[in-house]
Chains A and B, each alone.
Chain A
């Protein structure tokens, strides 16, 4: 089940957010060794965890987080614009009210079961794209480690790179380092369908009953 919460609900839904920030700390700070600027104890919280941020939580039957992604409106909060503008080589602006940015993308369990991970990715991203369609956005964008770009292209060949990859954190081989690349997805029903096919999602796992349903999706309630 995927639920969507926004940044203004951090106090109201503190239990979910504390678990998410703790998970992010374990994965990004301890696991990947990223030197993140704002670590509050064992919780990873940064300057993009703002009221306008929208959080997708994929919860299992025990209410445990098995996937998550944060979406921010790029006209106000954009990692790409602030830290990685050099990743854009096609002249596009990294900021637009019609573009949201996906960051802190997590799908568990990592690398233990390829088909389970694929389903987990699809379940989460399906909800994100449905939400973006409901918000009538033009694109979502992301900065990812180049080693993971293939998995997004595999989800949809409509994945459009914005430029070539560049080293971060000392480059490949350095602790916490690697190479990153920026891409955009157009927010269309074709992309949504690509994600569903990739994950083999059946209709019971969709939010929108069919691709022709263009009704808006509320930002807050349970998606499915």
Chain B
């Protein structure tokens, strides 16, 4: 016989049912953050692990960590060394930050990253690994000072994380498509994507156009957003398809 679940089960099923009805990105974010607060998670991050040469900021689906912390995290490229992220290489199952501390002794650089998170109000967090449509990894990570990490809470947050990731992804793709439909590439973006299509790196394009590499990267990122592409190669394909550039 089936049985009625406890609060964790009921809340999670209610959360998913409500989430399935939402289509607007902002509404989805609010719904997720509110639910996470109930578990004692004051902040949530959800992002795809950026590939080589890709920008973390462009991979973020949702992030309400303090701005100062986020800027520092991106600037220092912590994503490469953050044990909460690198642990993904070892497991596909959810884990908490405290689980990592128990499993192994952290390197000094790793400890520094975790200590900084604590300074910004996150003593522990829970990581839900998610394999994306392209086969790359993404993670949903709520964190807080004293979050509920009981077995039932973990089971609930795992389901919430999986559904949240996909709902955010759907909403973002929809949003980007709508924006892209009304936003053609600028002449500069078109010119740069033409060079990208010919196989040039951002550094090489910067030399050719006598501008900074970061300027080129910024134009490429904008073009990727407008073309609804997560990767450069796919952006080139989309740009050719839409007639923005030609070979």
Interfacial residues, chain A to chain B (CB-CB below 8 A): 85-86, 88-94, 114, 118, 146-147, 149-151, 153-154, 157-158, 160-166, 172, 179, 181
Contacts and interface: CB of A to CB of B under 8 A. Distances in A.
Contact of A181 (B2, B93, B159, B167): B159
A89 B13 contact: yes
B59 interface: no
A66 B176 CA distance: 36
Given A90-B2, A149-B159, 8 more contacts: A85-B1, A92-B2, A93-B2, A94-B2, A114-B133, A157-B167, A179-B93, A179-B155
Nearest to B17: A160
Given A91-B2, A149-B159, A163 B9 contact: yes
A89 B163 contact: no
A95 to B, nearest CB: 10
A162 B17 CA distance: 11
B156 A89 contact: no
Contacts, number: 79
Q: Is the interface of B mostly helix, strand, loop or mixed?
A: helix
Contact of A160 (B16, B130, B152, B156): B16
Contacts of B5: 89-90, 163-164
B8 interface: yes
B8 A91 contact: no
B101 interface: no
Interface in B112-142: 130-131, 133-135
A88 B2 contact: yes
A149 B135 CA distance: 15
Interface of B: 1-6, 8-10, 12-13, 16-17, 20, 92-93, 130-131, 133-135, 152, 155-156, 158-159, 162-163, 165-167, 170
Nearest to B16: A161
Contact of A164 (B130, B133, B155): B155
8 contacts: A85-B1, A89-B2, A90-B2, A91-B3, A161-B159, A164-B9, A164-B155, A164-B159
B135 A114 contact: yes
User: Which of B8, B134, B162 gathers the greatest number of chain A CB atoms within 10 Å?
Assistant: B162
B132 to A, nearest CB: 8
Contact of A154 (B8, B10, B12, B133): B133
A90 B162 contact: no
Contacts of B156: 164
Given A89-B3, A158-B20, A165-B158, A153 B163 contact: yes
B92 A85 contact: no
Contacts of A91: 2-4
A154 B162 CA distance: 9
Contacts of A90: 2, 4-5, 9, 13
Contacts of A89: 2-6, 9-10, 13
B164 to A, nearest CB: 10
Nearest to A93: B2
Given A149-B162, A151-B131, A157-B170, A164 B152 contact: yes
B134 A114 contact: yes
Nearest to B163: A153
Contacts of A118: 133
A198 to B, nearest CB: 8
B4 A150 contact: no
A153 to B, nearest CB: 5
Q: Closest 4 interchain pairs by CB?
A: A89-B5, A114-B135, A88-B2, A89-B9
A173 to B, nearest CB: 8
Contacts of A166: 155
A94 B3 CA distance: 11
Contacts of B166: 150, 153-154, 157
Given A88-B2, A90-B13, A150 B165 contact: yes
B57 to A, nearest CB: 24
A150 B3 contact: no
Contacts of B8: 164
